[in-house]
Structure formats: structure tokens, C-alpha cells
Amino acid sequence: MKIFKKNIITLLLIGVSALFLSCKDSSKTISFDKENTSTFYFFRHAEKDRTNPINKNPSLTTQGLERANKWAIFFKDKNIDAIYSTNYKRTRQTAQPIAKEQKIEIISYNPKQLISEKFIAKNKGKNIVIVGHSNTTPELVNRLLGEKKYEEIPDTDNNDLFIVTHHKNKTSAKREKVN
């Protein structure tokens, strides 16, 4: 009976050890996957000044500046590697607090030329923020997905966030409301 109990205890110890070793190995796999996973955060600029309807390049309103600061808080712990913005006041003002918090420069982009194999390869394994417009943001997400999944954002909607994950040759997206 004593030998039987000893064998059971030995087998349990071996089993527990094997379990711990397998957990350790799976954490290496997760780490490896993160290196090959790119996350793109797309959203529209914050609230713009609409007092002059002929102004094609307005600044943000006070509410828009507050929202831009909220975006910086949202991205604070996300280890952002690059921030892309169109070259308009409202998009750059939206991106600026994030850039300041992350201590990185804003990269200007042309929506017609942004999504490409070169862009995807350049940002492999990185977390990227892309600030755009009501019409270009869903269009860029759709191009990255390779399908028309999202329609234009209403001109008054400033809190939609599209999170696109690209891993190897598989791309997925989800849409959330933030702040």
C-alpha cells in the first residue's frame, strides 16, 4: 500500500511538472504571436469648428480638444509605435495629445496611398494609430480588410474606433464606441 501511495504521488508530481512546463512553452508561443500581430486603431478626428461653413480646414472646438485629450488617455497604455494623420488642422490636433503622451512624431499620410503591402510590412508587429475623416476612415479599414464591411461615419460622430488586427495573412476588425 505504501509503494502504491508513493507511485501515485510520483505520478502526480510528474503530471503537475508537465503542466507547468507546457504553460511555460505556450507563453513563448503567445509572445511570438505578438511579434507577428499588427494592430491598427482607426478613428475620425474630434469635433471640428463649424462656425464658418466655407472654411475647409477648421480647428477643433473646445469639446474636440477635450476629446483629443481623452484619446491620449485611452491610448496611454497601448504602446503605440506610430501615429498617422492627414494634413488637416483637425486631424493633427486630434493626434497631437497622443503623440505627446507616446513621445513620437505624427506622420502625415494621403488616404488614397496609405494602405499597401509596404505599409503592412513596415508596421508588422506594431500598434498604429490612424486619425482620419468620416469618409476615409471606414474606407481605409475596408481596404485593409479586403472587403466592404463599414459605411461612412456620420459627420457628427466622433467616437467610433475601428480596431483592425493583422496576423500573418488574416485580418479582422471590430468597431467600438469610445469616450
Q: What is the pLDDT of residues 161-175, one digit of tens each?
A: 999 999 888 999 999
3-state SS, residue 81 = coil
Same domain, 29 and 63: no
In order of 102, 117, 154, 160, the CA distances from 74 in angstroms are 12, 28, 22, 13
Say yes or no: 128 and 173 in one domain: yes
Burial label for 127, CB within 10 Å (0-12, 13-18, 19+), is middle
User: pTM of the full predicted structure?
Assistant: 0.81
Note whether 1 and 56 are same-domain residues.
no
In the block, residue with C-alpha cell 471640428: 48
Between CA 45 and CA 153, with CA 156 as vertex, the angle to 5 degrees is: 70
Render pLDDT for 20-69 as a digit per residue (tens, 0 to 9): 444 444 333 333 356 789 999 999 999 999 999 999 999 999 999 999 99
DSSP structural state of residue 152: P
Q: What is the pLDDT of residues 78-127, one digit of tens each?
A: 999 999 999 999 999 999 999 999 999 999 999 999 999 999 999 999 99
Which domain does 62 fall in, by range? 36-177
* One domain, residues 140 and 55: yes
Q: Which three cell numbers stand for residue 96?
A: 497631437
In the chain, how many domains are there? Answer: 2
Q: What residue spans of 36-135 are helical by DSSP H? A: 62-75, 89-102, 117-122
